[in-house]
Structure 1
């Protein structure tokens, strides 16, 4: 994760399993004018742009994981790391330090822009036990079959791939236990948007109430 955020920022964590609709919620808040830091996008950039991260990954996992563009074949590498705890830990060691630097830069930019809120869109927030880094953690939940169908349909992945990622993530029961707020993605996009705004509004109201006590 990142180092402590600047004291003037309220930091909220947004998380959810693959296919839950977390990214849709993040985009809803981004359109509303909130700064949303996409940790997964920063992670992908480490392996999608030729440079030190790519070379370190190739050194560790082999040339067979370099694609024709000179970056990492992330689909092939994902198949490996979601089935091999040691490989996953090695990949995280390559990626996470670079992600921390990118996120810290975004937070500095937020402070310079006079912003008071930053949302971290973080799919592995609970898996990495980072909930204490946030004022509040909001988790998006959806039915298992809906999640699988969504990823197969929208991302062109097969069911086995989706289930392998689900197996490496915490369960929704764990999300329910550990998150401060839940957003249930059981309706259409308009319903999800209303629930997302209500959850974020409740967290911000609670923060405001605490500040004036």
Structure 2
């Protein structure tokens, strides 16, 4: 296992100090991307914003720009700034459309928009985005994207007290995460199902 893989393993196991130390020793953009995750998950949002803004500037007007914009939106969501997160994800949606709406980025973006609209109380908008995320996730073949989308739609149904539908979507999420061997995500779904 190389240092980059060790860093991601530490992150996934919740050993943020170790992940930060490892990502900090690696000079490539992928390591900066990982370090931004660590900073966001440890509540150091300004530092995470700085990293992703820098990566976005380096990727300006390339097919990668939307990825860093997505990360900026994620940081704003984690920081609880729903308006800033919404602005980032709506801008990302425009960049994705300019790329021909490939299903994987569409799924990830729609999932985030669903999460934000649900937090803002716009329940029908949220549901529409979660459904779009599921459809695009299936089309993409990416199991993590599909699992996240199904989890989001399950959470939406749970918030409407539709427990049977929520369980159906959570079980679909669990199956996708199991196939992807994402143990952390599987544990989150098990907690919901319990």
Q: Normalising by the residue count of structure 2, what TM-score does the alignment of the two structures yield?
A: 0.30
Structure with more of its chain in strand, by fraction: 1
TM value normalised by structure 1: 0.28
Higher RCO structure, 1 or 2 (CA under 8 Å, sep 6+): 1
More helix by share: 2
Which is greater in Rg?
Answer: 1
